[in-house]
Amino acid sequence: MKLFTGMRPTGALHIGHYFSVIKPRAELQKKHKLFFMIADLHALTTLTDTAAIERDTFRMLAMLLASGFDPQKVIFFRQSTNPAHSELALLFSMVTPLSLLELNPVYKEMLEDHPSKRTLGLLSYPVLQAADILLYKPAGVPVGKDQAPHVEIMREIARRFNHQFGRVFPEPRTILAEGDRLLSLQDSSKKMSKSHAALSYIGLLDPPEIIRRKIKSAVTDSGREILYRPVEKPAISNLLLMYHLASGLSFSALEKKFQASSYAEFKSALADVLVDILTPLQKEYKKFLEQKEALVSLLQKGEEEARAIANATLTEAKKKVGLPII
């Protein structure tokens, strides 16, 4: 089955990205053909400093490879290298009601995080995203729960285009391929995000001493019981979730393991587990990042293949609309 996914190159990645997004999607390559788009155009919707997009593109690609993505099974490409994405988005904008975008819950959440970015680009994000996906006619789109509304908007856009001009596009199904979301280390009412204070997240490139300091300073709940109770004890439950994701141990096993431990002892053990996971990952990352020419070649190869597929789909769509093919 053909699947489509992507990420924005917007800076340093953290363990929330790794456990909730990168690892689950890397598993999909074992059974499916995967198109992975580096969404550099989408990055423009919230970035204020765009000078680092190219640098962050290669850093993200190196981290994906270090995390187990196989370039023999995955087609990697940069969104901006193919004008077909923008051209199809323009066609889709002609059949997309404004109300569909204004009622999008993801748009409202992004405005909360980026109040200065009330732009057409952010509002029409799902239209470009629909073009990104439908150009490749995948059977499914792996996303997290928070991005599921965008897939439904894409399906609606596909239906409207097909109804008005004739069938071209499938309606890919939503594949929930994301683990539980980690929360901020400093505020368990918020998700982990690099847009918050540095102490609130564990970066994938954080050295051991920084990881230990951040875990040590993480907020906890009242009492001293180490129990997985997300509602009653959200802070310690968040740390238990990290341990579970990093070790594979069940929550009941972790509760038993640390039933006689203090919060400080538990945090120390958690930091050790995270260091054990991230240290070899960082070594692999550095190895891939040093091979700049190989990364460039990998992208160019994927972009050539992606461009051929996308251009064929765009030509099909333009013929249905009645536009000239140049």
Residue 178's pLDDT band, with cuts at 50, 70 and 90, is low
CA atoms of 215 and 94, how far apart (whole Å): 49
Cβ-Cβ contacts under 8 Å for 16 (sequence gap 6 or more)? 181, 182, 191, 192, 193, 201
Work out the percent of the chain whose per-residue pLDDT is above 90. Answer: 79
Tell me: the pLDDT tens digits for 8-45? Answer: 998 889 999 999 889 999 999 999 999 999 999 999 98
- Burial (Cβ within 10 Å: 0-12, 13-18, ≥19) of residue 322: exposed
CATH code of the domain made up of 2-181+292-321: 3.40.50.620
- CATH architecture classification, 198-286: Orthogonal Bundle (1.10)
Give percent of the chain above pLDDT 70.
Answer: 99
pLDDT at 301: 98
| Whole-number Cα distances in Å, 222 to 23, 228, 232, 249 | 33, 14, 10, 24
Per the listing, tokens 């975008």 go with 101
Q: Average of pLDDT values for 73-100?
A: 97
What is the reported pLDDT for 191?
A: 87
Q: Given this model, what pLDDT does residue 179 score?
A: 65
Of 145-149, 238-242, 250-254, 271-275, least confident by mean pLDDT is 145-149
Residue 232 corresponds to which tokens in the numbers above?
Answer: 């009653």
In the chain, what are the domain boundaries? 2-181+292-321, 198-286
